Amino acid sequence: MVSKVIPVDDFDLVIFGGTGDLARRKILPGLFRRFIAGQMPSTSRIIGAARSDIDSDGFRDLVKDAIAEFGGPDLQDKDELPAFLAQLEYVAIDAKGDAGWPELAGLVRKQLVNAFYFSVAPSLFGDLAKRLHQHDITDATSRIVVEKPFGRDLETAKALNATLSDFFDEGQIYRIDHYLGKETVQNLMAVRFGNVLFEPLWNAKYIDHIQITVAETVGVGGRGTYYDRSGAMRDMVQNHLMQLLCLIAMEPPSQFEPDAVRDEKLKVIRALQPVEPHQMVRGQYDASDETPSYRDDAENPRSHTESFVALKTHIANFRWAGVPFYLRTGKRMTTRASEIAVVFKPIAHSIFGPVEDGNNVLAIQLQPNEGITLDVTIKEPGPGGMRLVNVPLDMTFAEALGPEAEAPEAYERLIMDVIRGNQTLFMRGDEVEAAWEWTDPLIAGWEARNDVPKPYDTGSMGPLDAHALMHRDNRQWREVKG
Ligand code: BG6
């Protein structure tokens, strides 16, 4: 199986915040990977723009170090590195003043595809948009890419959307949620809509419930100040888990085209039911022998911010009436593993008598091992009568498709989509606002109740109450594997 690399048009990509953490960890190593894959035309350029007072050579050194540190084994000692670095430029820029803007205007070639990645604090989005406009660097064909967090509630998200729309049309704004760039997330759509098997069963008649787990082993150390103002609900649920839920639950779009897909996702978010306090559990990790507690990481001894959240919600429409969606995510959990599990109802009548745990489950593993399994009931081989067992039909992609099918990382794919001008995997402004509209009352609710998150052990799957949330419904969380 040979991966196909579709060439893109010649481009100038400006990365504001080009010396920052995200650029060094993800964006620049990702672009180098695309360069090696032959996807970056030799006259295209990546222009770093940030406050640091360095020149283009200084930036090239910084990118070289970033690739060495964060690039992973596949990017080390590559002969292509000098050629890649030669396509980089740098401009020292002041987002709030005029310094650097004329130089940037001189560099960006308007006749090419030009894109501007705002890898900076959202408080600077407005300044950047305004100055790009004032210095006549952008036009109606330019694209801007903005990172999460997109606001911290409905009001701030609306304000951000309004600011950006003063200078750019919706069709020029690419709001990144990197979960949409993950290979398996797109495979979820391929499996649902590309096979005859699943769609007829994809409804309340056959599906018992859906679980979405995004478990991480990292803590919040190093970014405690940001995180403590955010918490798992704002940092993960409002965006990443919400997007996964949308793709699982949406109606089939008429075509795989940006607005057709985003219209369907929006309908899901708008149909999401409020979550009652007893349907939600918030947690905060304790210290272990080796690692600090959440409150130490956040440097806030009285913090009430959650590093874990589990909740149950419903989607009020014909397809999903009565089907619970259980979501959970947290830091410092047992293992790093993300999974969406579609748990089907038991068969209407078992001719073999009671079958324990016999539900069919379609499990979509996002990471670390990308793949899809379908649990089916079969006869245990050998003598001894009809003993039934549940075994997974396993489509671990690395095994099924071979190492050459190695997928680009989420950021690489999404940046290439920006260059191609394809917004399908980016959030539209109304989607982000609708997501906040659902999230805001939950947050306001626990703030009004002065809810204190439940402590949980580092290396566990969250507070016991999160298990009780399932047990009360005679269900249980699946064991996710790292
Ligand atoms: C980010 C969150 O958006 O996603 C982080 O801000 C989180 O808190 C990260 O760790 C998880 O991304 P991934 O791709 O490692 O699952």
Q: Are residues 188 and 335 in the same domain?
A: yes
Q: Which of 89, 1, 76, 4 is nearest to 39 (CA)?
A: 4
Which of 125, 147, 169 finishes a domain?
A: 147
Alpha-carbon dihedral of residues 431, 436, 441, 442, nearest 10 degrees?
100
Helices (H), 195-252: 224-228, 231-232, 242-249
| Phi, psi for residue 204 in degrees, rounded to 5 | -60, -20
pLDDT at 19 over 80: yes
| CA 46 from centroid of its chain's CA atoms | 24
Closest CA to 223 of 374, 394, 20, 54: 20
CA-nearest residue, atom 4 of ligand 1:
236
Q: How many CA atoms lie within 13 A of 267 on its CB side?
A: 16
Using the 8-state DSSP alphabet, how is residue 171 labeled? G
Q: Please write the tens of the pLDDT for every residue from 242-263.
A: 999 999 999 999 999 999 999 9
Whether pLDDT at 2 is above 50: no
Residue whose CB lies within 8 A of the most ligand 1 atoms, among 26, 70, 240, 297, for a mutation test? 240
Residues 245 and 139 reside in one and the same domain: no
At 464-474, the pLDDT tens digits run 999 999 999 99
Last residue of a domain, one of 103, 122, 147: 147
Measured in Å, residue 270 CA sits from the centre of ligand 1 at 25
Which mutation among 21, 216, 308, 332 tests ligand 1's pocket best, with the greatest number of atoms within 8 A of CB? Answer: 216
**pLDDT exceeds cutoff 60 at 28:** yes
- In the predicted model, is pLDDT for residue 355 greater than 80? no
Q: Specify the ligand 1 atom closest to the Cα of 216.
A: 10
Residue 422, domain member (yes or no): yes
pLDDT of 406 over the 80 cut: no
pLDDT value of residue 402: 64
pLDDT band at 384 (very low <50, low <70, confident <90, very high): confident
Neighbours of 16 (CB within 10 A): 27
What is the C-alpha separation between 49 and 62, in angstroms, rounded?
Answer: 13
297 shares a domain with 209: yes
Half-sphere exposure of residue 78: CA atoms within 13 angstroms, side-chain side: 21
- Does residue 225 sit in the same domain as residue 287? yes
Q: What pLDDT sits at residue 407?
A: 64
For residue 108, the domain's CATH number is: 3.40.50.720
Please work out whether the CB of residue 409 comes within 6 Å of at least one atom of ligand 1: no
Q: Do residues 461 and 329 both lie within one domain?
A: yes
- Pair 139, 241 in one domain: no
Decide if pLDDT at 354 tops 80: no
Same domain, 221 and 128: no
Residue 480 lies in a domain: no
Q: Which atom of ligand 1 is nearest to the CA of 220?
A: 8
CATH of the domain at 434: 3.30.360.10
**For a substitution probing ligand 1, which of 25, 26, 146, 178 has the most ligand atoms within 8 Å of its CB?**
178
pLDDT tens digits, 310-319: 999 999 999 9
143 and 194 in a single domain? The answer is no
The HSE-up count of residue 195 (CA atoms within 13 Å, CB side) is: 10
For residue 357, is pLDDT > 90? no
User: Is 326 within the bounds of a domain?
Assistant: yes
From the alpha carbon of 410, which atom of ligand 1 is closest? 14
Give the structural domain span for 47.
11-147
Q: What is the mean pLDDT of the chain?
A: 93
Q: Within a domain: residue 173?
A: no
Residue 170 lies in a domain: no
User: How is residue 349 written in tokens?
Assistant: 């009548």
Cβ(370) – ligand 1 distance below 6 Å: no
Tell how far the Cα of 184 is from the centroid of ligand 1, in angstroms: 16
Annotated active-site residue 240? The verdict is: yes
CB proximity list for 212: less than 8 A, separation 6 or greater:
241, 244, 245, 248, 325, 326, 327, 328, 339, 340, 341
> Structurally, how many domains does the chain consist of?
2
Same structural domain, 72 and 213: no
Give residue-wise pLDDT tens across range 138-170.
999 999 999 888 999 999 999 999 999 999 999
Single out the catalytic residue among 240, 314, 349, 467. Answer: 240
Reported confidence tier of residue 88, pLDDT bands at 50, 70, 90: very high
- Say if CB 411 and CB 27 are below 8 A apart: yes
The response to whether residue 417 sits with its C-beta less than 6 Å from ligand 1 reads no
* Positive/negative CA dihedral, 430, 436, 437, 438: positive
479 in a structural domain: no
Is 5 among the domain residues?
no
Residue nearest to atom 2 of ligand 1 (CA): 235
- By the 10 Å C-beta count (0-12 exposed, 13-18 middle, 19+ buried), 317 is classed as middle
Separation CA 243–CA 268 (nearest Å): 10
Alpha carbon distance 346, 157 (integer Å): 42
The predicted structure's pLDDT at residue 397: 66
Q: 443 and 389: one domain?
A: yes
Does residue 163 form part of some domain?
no
Listed residue (323, 304, 305) closest to 313, CA to CA = 323
| Percentage of the residues of the chain whose pLDDT score is greater than 90 | 80
Q: What is the pLDDT of residue 152?
A: 93
> Is there a contact between 10 and 412 (Cβ–Cβ < 8 Å)?
no
Calculate mean pLDDT across residues 61-69. 96
- Specify the pLDDT at position 422: 95
147 lines ligand 1 (CB under 6 A): no
Mean pLDDT value of segment 47-63: 96
> Nearest C-alpha to atom 6 of ligand 1 is from which residue?
235
Residue 376 to residue 358: CA distance in whole angstroms: 8
Domain boundary among 106, 123, 147: 147
Integer angstrom CA distances of residue 40 from 79, 94, 112, 404, 419: 16, 28, 13, 20, 10
8 Å CB contact between 49 and 107: no
pLDDT at residue number 398? 65
Is 18 in the same domain as 136?
A: yes
The model's confidence at residue 210, banded by pLDDT at 50, 70 and 90, is: very high
Q: Tell me: pLDDT of 128 over 80.
A: yes
216 CB near ligand 1 (under 6 Å): yes
Residue of 236, 237, 412 best suited for mutating to test ligand 1, as the one with most atoms within 8 Å of CB: 236
Residues 297 and 445 in one domain: yes
Task: Compute, in angstroms, the gap from residue 218 CA to the centroid of ligand 1.
Answer: 10
